[in-house]
Structure 1
Amino acid sequence: MPNSRQLPRDRTSPLIWLLAILCTVIAVAVILVGIVVFTIYLVYRPRIPYLRVSRAHLDRLDYDQNGLLAVALSLTIAAENDNARASAWFSDARFDLRFHDVLIAELRADPFDVARNSSLPLSYVVDSSVIPLDQGAREEMDSALKEDKVSFSLGGQTRARWRVGVFLSVKFLAHLSCTLQFSHSNGSSVGGVGCSSKSN
């Protein structure tokens, strides 16, 4: 009579079960977090706060044949927050005003809040010291004065943060890169006002 022997059953390791349960819990948690974030988005409809050049005027431009430049201008950068349900917080606002890569002024701002669905103007009055221009900058200034259109570059960034709901806080950098153009004859802006970090 033949002998029959029952083969031992393979048993799943407790470690495998533990890993399976852990993966299931993580997957469920990720799904729940996604649902919460999506729900908050639908409720708050968050919009990214941004910077915008709202006003610029060339108050004075002194330039002589020795290539010495002195500039006075007034500039307003508006911090815009279009969120209807969340205020925005800005910090480390730093902007440089240049002519032909020559630094004219460094513009800074202390940390500030912008209430929901509103804006806050940052007003600057630049009155530079006498700045010597190199040959390339001299040539550009000579051409600009003949055309009655003097261009300056404004560049920089600020850190921004706004809270969506109770737990979700969004942080980002707002970059500003604009070319400001002025008529030398009357100081009025002929380009650059309206430039914003939205397009950068």
Structure 2
Amino acid sequence: MSSSDIPKTPLPPPPPFTPTHQKKHKQSPPQKIVSSKQACNQEAEAPAVQHNSKQPTLGEPRRTNPLIWFGAILCMIFSLFLIFFGIATLVIFLDVKPRTPVFDTPAATLNVIYFNSPDFLNGDVIFLANFSNPNRKLNVKYEYLDIKLFFSETLIAVQALQPFSQNPGESRLMSVHLISSLIHLPPNTVLELQKQVQRNRVAYDIRGTFRVKAKLGIFHFSYWLHGRCKVEMTSPPTGTLITHSCKTKR
């Protein structure tokens, strides 16, 4: 049999051509397209949810300790007391108008000045001290009184006085006797004193220190008072007051 006598079997037709990348595209699920505005909203909502999830839960309120309430009430009462006391003090001060007592020397006598040796002074001075209470409603009490006599800033005599009291508007005169006995003076001070005696004008400085208590009923307060008087007298033995000037301050 020849090859021409063998029957020919027809071949099956080839399958249609399909690209590989198109198959994969058809098999993948469709993706959802998200706009840029929606993406921003989703990103903003995510931290908010996380922030809310971290907020602590509030517990039951605690009760205040009774001791704290007690201390607060005491502080309030004390503050009200201070305010009331301050207002009362201001009213009393404005009504009373306290004034400083006055110290003055209306008269003085220089009896003796002599020297045992070139540097030692002996002297005798008597002056009249006038204490005045210018207050209209306050009583004053002088609890401590100290008088000192100076010449050219050198202390030459000291005298203490007895305590006394004064009613409102009252004045009191007291004689003060100051004696200098063997007081050592520097040479230049001795020379200045001798010159003043020769000129018949001797200048002294009188300084007073007083502890004063002012009283109004049950209220009282104390303070220190300082008086200073500059006096000029004629020479001894009959030295009299020529001029004087006094200041009193607290």
Alignment of 1:181 with 2:236, yes or no, is no
Structure-1 residue corresponding to 2:242? 190
Q: What's the CA shift for 1:71? A: 2.2
Residues 60 and 73, structure 1, Cα contact 8 Å, conserved in 2: yes
Structure-2 residue corresponding to 1:150? 202
User: One-letter code of the match for 1:197?
Assistant: T
Q: Which residue, 1, 6, 9 being the options, matches 2:61?
A: 9
The worse-fitting range, judged by mean Cα deviation, of 108-117 and 63-72 is 63-72
194 and 80 in structure 1: CA distance in 2 versus 1, 3 angstrom threshold: farther
Name the one with the larger helix percent. Answer: 2
Residues 102 and 131, structure 2, Cα contact 8 Å, conserved in 1: yes
Alignment of 1:1-200 (within 5 A): 7-63=59-115, 66-164=118-216, 166-184=217-235, 187-191=239-243, 193-198=244-249
User: One-letter code of the match for 1:168?
Assistant: F
**Cα separation, 2, equivalents of 1:6 and 1:97:** 82
Percent of matched pairs sharing the same residue: 23
Q: What's the CA shift for 1:105? A: 2.1
Q: Deviations over 1:101-138 (max 9, x none)?
A: 54432111111111221111121133443545331221
Q: Deviations over 1:155-180 (max 9, x none)?
A: 2311111112x332021111123332
Residues 149 and 178, structure 2, Cα contact 8 Å, conserved in 1: no
Structure 1 spans left out of the alignment, 5+ residues: none
Runs of 4 or more above 4 Å deviation: none
User: One-letter code of the match for 2:227?
Assistant: L
Q: How big is the alpha-carbon RMSD for the aligned residues of Structure 1 and Structure 2?
A: 2.8
Per chain length, whose mean CA-contact separation is higher, i.e. which structure has more relative contact order (CA < 8 Å, sep 6+)? 1
The worse-fitting range, judged by mean Cα deviation, of 17-26 and 99-108 is 99-108
Residues 57 and 74, structure 1, Cα contact 8 Å, conserved in 2: yes
Q: What's the CA shift for 1:98? A: 2.5
Q: What's the CA shift for 1:89? A: 0.6
Q: Deviations over 1:40-91 (max 9, x none)?
A: 2233222222322232232333358834533222211111111222321102
Residues 97 and 154, structure 1, Cα contact 8 Å, conserved in 2: yes
Residues 158 and 178, structure 2, Cα contact 8 Å, conserved in 1: no
User: One-letter code of the match for 2:218?
Assistant: F
Residues 147 and 160, structure 2, Cα contact 8 Å, conserved in 1: yes
How many correspondences in the alignment?
195
Q: TM-score, normalised by structure 2?
A: 0.67
Name the one with the larger strand percent. Answer: 1
